[in-house]
Amino acid sequence: MEPFALPESFLLGTATASLQIEGGDRNNSWYRWVQTGHVKDGTSCIVADDHWNRVTEDIALMKQLHQQTYRMSLEWSRIEPARGQFDKDAIGHYRLEIQQLVNAGIRPLVTLHHFSNPLWLEDAGAWVNPDIVDLFERYTAYVVENLGDLVSDWCTINEPNVYLAAGYVMGGWPPSNISITKYFRGARNMIAAHIKSYRKIHQVRASNGYNDTMVGVANHLRLFDPKHGNGRERWAAGMYERLFQELFVTGMCEGRLLSPLGGGYPLGEGRYFDFLGVNYYTRDIVDCSGKSTSPLGRLEVREDSQKNDLGWELYPEGLYRVCKKYWDRYHTPIFITENGTADAKDAFRTRYIYDHLLQVSQLIGDGVDVQRYYHWSLMDNFEWIEGLSAKFGIVAVDYATLERTVRTSGWFYADVAKHHGVTEKMIQQYLA
């Protein structure tokens, strides 16, 4: 292991999602999903980390950990609890939270949609509803009109591909309505919603005199590597990449629809992103050997790899590969909007952070304009279908008492943020 430095302008922070940490909201698609017994460990999001009532405490923790930026999301179901009815108290709560972040010197990056829907929207078809593009644009306008003086950095949608694949292809997430047609319809709607919201955010803030607006998408990007390297596997890997992520990246960045979504630029050719958000966790190995009957083979985890608590391969080099690929295509600033690992014992998270930030350092050294890194996550949370059992936080949460305890990896990450890199002393202290 070697020391490395990051530029002084580089921002280090953490990321969370409202549904996963706030607790207290019963008006959303995931609370109902919990009630119907779909979560693996039987736990619930109804309390989660109780962040809604502990904002001040949690921001103090961020400041103690030298966080320079924080990616948070808003719960649409709180802000618009019924169609067309906006809750002033809810938006006021978020305003106070963001003001506390700003006062603490922590720059907010606000996500408008992170997997959960208000029940009124879920029951109306959610992202396959033909009205969804206009509904999302209206919600965006309300939020930015109320928070835009405090927030310059926005993420419209988190991982649209994961949301749609889990709900309409694999069926493990709400609404569990398996339909490839609905997957593609939802993709077209999410692309259109992003483009219209991108324009709306810029429009609202510009009308109020702001010219520093940054808008993007948090793209879940992974690698699909052929197991044996033969032609069939390379073709299958290309198809997985196209259907899972290229449709979304191309549509949301350029406005161009790829087949099978359609073609051309239905909302006009443009550049609908000011930064490329990259959520990177792992890669898949594509195996098209005789064991598989599917033309796309099957996805595996590399057999001899180190894995996290959820069985995901730890492959830090993949972060370099996905960032370099899209930098070469777009030459736009990159924010690592999520990167983290499930490690209940905190046995390898410190090394994980080191290894992935080393890749970031190498990217910057090779001329790639990576400007931020958000570790997933600030604290343990309700990890969707896994429930409370998957531990992603640099801060541990005791769910019996809701006490927060900084893990060793958290203190390491705090030192990285403080020193803008890793020193020899830090290697000896945390990684030797």
Q: State the residue for tokens 């898949």.
A: 284
Q: Which residue type, as a one-letter code, is found at position 350?
A: T
The Cα 334–Cα 373 span in angstroms is 9
Over residues 235-248, mean pLDDT: 98
Residue 422 maps to a domain: no
Over residues 365-391, mean pLDDT: 98
The Cα 134–Cα 146 span in angstroms is 19
pLDDT tens column, 268-302? 999 999 999 999 999 999 999 977 778 899 999 99
Residue 424: pLDDT band with limits 50, 70, 90? very high
Task: Look at residue 332 and give its three-state secondary structure.
Answer: coil
pLDDT tens column, 332-360? 999 999 999 999 999 999 999 999 999 99
Helix (H) or strand (E) holding 318: helix 317-330
Write down the pTM of the prediction.
0.98
Residue 3 maps to a domain: no
pLDDT tens column, 168-227? 999 999 999 999 999 999 999 999 999 999 999 999 999 999 999 999 999 999 999 999
Contact 185/132 with Cβ under 8 angstroms?
Answer: no
Residue 420 maps to a domain: no
Residue 21: pLDDT band with limits 50, 70, 90? very high
Residue 1 maps to a domain: no
From the CB of residue 420, how many other CB atoms can be counted at a distance below 10 Å? 17
Residue 396 maps to a domain: yes
Residue 285 maps to a domain: yes
**CA within 13 Å, CB half, 89:** 3
Residue 416 maps to a domain: no
Domain residue limits at 158: 10-409
pLDDT score recorded for residue 293: 76
DSSP E strands, 258-364: 276-279, 283-287, 298-300, 334-339
Nearest alpha-carbon partner for 169 in 247, 57, 283: 247
Question: Which CATH number do you get for residue 214?
Answer: 3.20.20.80
For the chain, give the mean pLDDT.
Answer: 98
pLDDT score recorded for residue 210: 98
Residue 42 maps to a domain: yes
Which distant-in-sequence residues (6+ apart) come within 8 Å of 277 by Cβ? 155, 216, 217, 218, 219, 335, 337
pLDDT score recorded for residue 413: 99
Contact 108/154 with Cβ under 8 angstroms?
Answer: no
Count structural domains, the chain.
1
Q: State the residue for tokens 């990159």.
A: 334
